[in-house]
Amino acid sequence: MTPPRFGVWAPVHGSRAAHHDPDEPDDASWARNRALVREAEALGYDSVLVAQHVVNPYDEARDQLETWTATAALAALTERIELIAAVKPGLFHPVVLAKMALQIEHISGGRFALNLVNAWNATEFEAAGLPFPAHDARYAYGAEWIALVSRLMRGERVSHEGRHFRVSDLQLRPADPYRARPRIYLGGESEPARALVADQGDVWFLNGQPIEAVRGLIADAAARPRHLPPLRFGLAAFVIARETDREARAEHARLLDLAGADAGMREASRTRVDPEVVMIRTMARTRAVGTNGGTAAGLVGSYATVAERLAAFHAAGIELFMLQFQPFEAEMRRFAERVRPLLA
């Protein structure tokens, strides 16, 4: 088994746990994201995920970083860290996106990856006059979209006549000089998402949840037919690590209380969500802080406790842990200095 890798979520829409924390600037600026990602690289983190939204999903009056231009800039400003840019297929034609992906792959020297997200925020599309099909239809669209993007990123000469796209004798150059193509991360845990992961994904990016649920998802993936190399697994999680379990639980309680001030904002955001999205139902099972499952993964405790739980997830098959913190910079440093050495 490969050693665990650790990444961070870029603060593309500000705070991940609570928007009214006096210790955390609710700052989604390019300046903050640039500084945070460069520090994460210096601290030894392996990856950064730059999520994609056109407008802030919690409050349209708040700032929202643009993913692909920011990732291109980060590619030129970093040297080692993997750069994962999320993309919603309904916002980009596959030919345009594949060309952009190959360019960032060149800028980064072979460190780029894309994270296919089949979208959950209906308002974001509707406000722009873009179609937002039903859940399974979005996955059917995404399957045709990513198959085309994958072939184009491989440098193939592509002719395609499908339900959604027509491409005639097209080849993108320059090709990828570092590998066959950039890595593809896929999220989602519905049946269409699982089928798409098995067919097209390199890494299945799971939402934070207890280890028993994660084992079940990994077993499901292992039972599916696959023509690509073995599937790898990542997990989203919010970390609260302290000297003692008691101190960590107290900080978790503090963040839960602070998140209560965001109740109106989050309730409004839920009205914009497709109720068929499995992530939303999974998150509703546990009172947690953070996005994409957050503390539901159970990484709350002493440094030793968090390290033990990470080791258990890794033994279950998780290779990449994509982590959230608050206050982000200070807790990112704490994890690097106090928890990661315990996993060496």
pLDDT attached to residue 120 = 83
Q: Output the pLDDT for position 187.
A: 94
Mean pLDDT of all residues in the chain?
Answer: 93
In sequence order, what are the beta bridge partners of 235?
206, 321
Q: How confident is the model at residue 344 (pLDDT cuts 50, 70, 90)?
A: confident
What does the pLDDT read at residue 161? 97
Average pLDDT score over residue span 297-313: 98
Q: What is the pLDDT of residues 57-95, one digit of tens each?
A: 888 889 999 999 999 999 999 999 999 999 999 999 999
Place of tokens 């937002």: 132
Strand partners, 114: 85, 184
pLDDT, residue 58, reads: 85
Backbone φ and ψ for 50, nearest 5 degrees, come out as -105, 100
Q: What is the pLDDT of residue 303?
A: 98
Q: Given pLDDT bands bounded at 50, 70 and 90, which one contains residue 19?
A: confident
Band of the pLDDT at 273, cuts 50, 70, 90?
A: low
Residue 124 has pLDDT above 90, yes or no: no
Cβ neighbours for 10, distance < 8 A, ≥ 6 positions apart: 33, 36, 37, 48, 49, 50, 51, 65, 70
Q: What is the pLDDT of residue 121?
A: 82
Q: What is the pLDDT of residue 275?
A: 62
Q: What is the pLDDT of residue 314?
A: 98
| The pLDDT of residue 35 | 98
The region of weakest confidence among 98-107, 204-213, 257-266, 293-302 is: 257-266
pLDDT value of residue 302:
98
Residue 270 has pLDDT above 90, yes or no: no
278: pLDDT confidence band, cut at 50, 70 and 90?
Answer: low
Confidence of residue 269 (pLDDT cuts 50, 70, 90): low
**In this predicted structure, what is the pLDDT of residue 252?**
97
Global confidence as pTM:
0.93
Q: What is the pLDDT of residues 164-200, one digit of tens each?
A: 999 999 999 999 999 999 999 999 999 999 999 999 9
pLDDT in tens, 51-62: 999 998 888 889
CA distance 48 to 141: 27
Average pLDDT over residues 277-287: 59
283: pLDDT confidence band, cut at 50, 70 and 90? low
Residue 219 buriedness (CB in 10 A; 0-12 / 13-18 / 19+): exposed
